[in-house]
Amino acid sequence: MQQALDLANVYLENARKAVDPDIALVLCHDTEVSLSQVKRAAKHTNDANTREKIATIHIELGRVLDTQERSNEAQAFYKKSLKWG
């Protein structure tokens, strides 16, 4: 699970830095895929640290999507963060 969290953060960091919007969106998608693997593994966890990391990735993914003018998608990730935070 930690590897998938780390991978999601790597994708997210690169999405933030990407100049090409298409590349940024692909990296956002890759972040989402890694995040879904983490969420499956952590579905029933009570570990506050893990849940906080998942919520943070959702928020940061929303921010990147906002910068890519994908506000509807960003809002969906902001809402998902509330479930984990």
Tokens (6 digits) for 39: 């969420």
Model confidence at 85, pLDDT cuts 50, 70, 90, reads confident
The whole-number average pLDDT for the span 54-82 is: 96
18 — phi, psi (to 5°)? -65, 135
pLDDT in tens, 41-63: 898 888 899 999 999 999 999 99
Cα-based torsion angle of the residue sequence 36, 8, 75, 72 in order, rounded to the nearest 10 degrees: -90
User: Of 57, 64, 78, nearest to 23 (Cα)?
Assistant: 64
- The mean pLDDT value for 61-83 works out to 96
pLDDT at 57 (0 to 100): 97
